[in-house]
Structure 1
Amino acid sequence: MIKLIECPRDAMQGFPNFIDTAIKAAYINQLLQIGFDTIDFGSFVSPKAIPQMRDTAEVLEYLDLFESKSKLLAIVANTRGAEDALHFEQIDYLGFPLSISETFQQRNTNKSIKDAMVAVEEIQNLTEVKGKTLVTYLSMGFGNPYGDPYAPEMVAEFVEQLEQLGVKIISFADTVGTANVDLIKELFELNIQGYPHIEFGAHFHARPDQVEEKVLAAFHAGCLRFDGALKGFGGCPMAKDDLVGNVATEKLIQSLEKEGQTLSLNKQELEEAMKMVDFVFR
């Protein structure tokens, strides 16, 4: 069964104008009506690092979860953030960005990869105690622009370490939109076959004309978990290409439905959310 993860947090976090808390909550409440498996709704990180997410706890208070089947995911960058997030019963998943690139790990979380792996272990233990689930994102999972070492075999080594820690969900992140179809196919086939008990996901950043080929390459390699953001808002500023953003959820849906997949989404509620997007990101 395909799982779609809608990521308003990723869409919003780099937006230059602060989005009012009530507007954030109204938008996320609309997303909760569509039928996505999970909503990546906010993050518990330093407000100095990500000012847009400083009101995540407040947003949570306004969310109406009673009639929604969607689960909530919050991003954390350290153990303290995880402890803060775990105070809220409404949150089902914690997401942690672990990078294949040493340079990006330092830039993104102010940690070395070694220290970040220690944080992963600590957060994994905390989530297990609280009955929650850790989602580990392997940033720069398809290469990096810094000249740091990279190979698919390195990704597999990271997966092996995470498997030993008991991590059950790993999402490969194409952080700067450089993944090609062959690499996507290789990476997912290698790891899905090697670790059948781990759920692997795809968090792609892509130009609009590359969305379908990347999504279908992962799907045909066995990936059943996909992140997206309506209209493709967000993405990594280090891509240095204004057209490289998050995979537009509507294009993701279209690509998978063309393959005959039934996604069980409320299309009317999806249309309403699409109407809200331009108001939220004005």
Structure 2
Amino acid sequence: MIKLIECPRDAMQGISGFIDTAIKAAYINQLLEVGFDTIDFGSFVSPKAVPQMRDTAEVLELLDLHNSKSKLLAIVANVRGAQDALHFPEIDYLGFPLSVSETFQRRNTNASIAEAMVLVEEIQNLCEIKGKKQVVYLSMGFGNPYGDSYSPDLIAEFVEKLVLLGIETISLSDTIGIATPGLITELFKIQIETFPQIEFGAHLHSRPESISEKVCAGLKGGCKRFDGALKGFGGCPMAKDELVGNMATEVMIEKMESVGYSLGLNKPELAEAMKLTQFVFNP
């Protein structure tokens, strides 16, 4: 079964103009009607680092979860953020951005990789106490533009360490959109065969013309969990100056269905969500 993770948080976080809290909540409520496996809805991080997400707790209070099967995921970057997120029983997953690039880890979370691994362990312990799951995003998982070392073997070393900490879901992340279809297939195939107990996800950024081939590459490698954002909005403001958008969810859906996957989504509600994007992202 394919799991689609819709990421309005990622779509919104790089936008300079603040999106009204009520508008964010209305949009996420519409996404909750579609039937996505999970909604990556917000983050508990420093408002100075990501001003757009300073109202995540307020947004959460406005969400209508009663008729939705979707789970909620919030990004955290430290123990304090995890503790804040865990105050809310509605949140199912905490996502932590771990990088295989020392340069990007410091740029993204102001911590070294060694320090970030300690945080992963501490957050994992908190999640286990509260009955929550941690999703670790391995950013720069398909290449490194900063000159740090990179290889599929390096990814395996990180995964092995995370397995020992009890992590069950790892999303390989192409934060700047440089992954080739060949590497996507190879990396997922190797990691899934080596660590069959782990649920591997794909958090890929892409130019619009490359989305379909990257989806097919991930599927060919055995990936069954894909992150996306409607119309491909978003990108990591901590990476490069030029934001590379998320994988457009509607394009992924079309490609997956064209090759025979049934996703169980409510298409009329999806169409309504698509309409809302113009008000959310083009105020």
What is the one-letter code of the residue matched to 2:211? V
Q: What is the Cα deviation at residue 215 of structure 1? A: 1.0
What is the RMSD of the two structures over their aligned residues, measured on CA atoms? Answer: 0.9
- In structure 2, the partner of 1:41 is 41
Runs of 4+ deviating beyond 4 Å: 239-242
What is the one-letter code of the residue matched to 1:209? E
Q: What is the Cα deviation at residue 236 of structure 1? A: 2.8
Q: What is the Cα deviation at residue 239 of structure 1? A: 4.4
Matched residue of 1:278: which SS?
helix
- In structure 2, the partner of 1:272 is 272
- In structure 2, the partner of 1:246 is 246
Work out the percentage of aligned pairs sharing the same amino acid.
Answer: 70
What is the one-letter code of the residue matched to 1:187? L
What is the one-letter code of the residue matched to 1:115? E
Deviations 1:170-208 (A, max 9, x none): 000001100011111111011101111110000000000
Equivalent residues of 1:177, 1:239 under 8 A apart:
no
- 2-side partners of 1:24 and 1:34: how far apart? 16
Residue 126 in 1 paired to residue 143 in 2?
Answer: no
Report 1:87-98 matches (<5 A): 87-98=87-98
Matched residue of 1:88: which SS?
coil
- In structure 1, the partner of 2:225 is 225
Structure 1 residues 10 and 225, CA, compared in 2 at 3 Å: closer, same or farther?
A: same
Q: Which moved more, 1:89-98 or 1:250-259?
A: 250-259
TM-score normalised by L of structure 1? 0.98
TM-score normalised by L of structure 2? 0.98
Structure 2 residue runs without a partner (length 5+): none
- 2-side partners of 1:199 and 1:222: how far apart? 10
Equivalent residues of 1:95, 1:137 under 8 A apart:
yes
Equivalent residues of 1:13, 1:234 under 8 A apart:
yes
Equivalent residues of 1:175, 1:239 under 8 A apart:
no
Q: What is the Cα deviation at residue 241 of structure 1? A: 4.6
- 2-side partners of 1:278 and 1:140: how far apart? 30
How many residues align? The count is: 281
Report 1:2-151 matches (<5 A): 2-151=2-151
Equivalent residues of 2:10, 2:236 under 8 A apart:
no
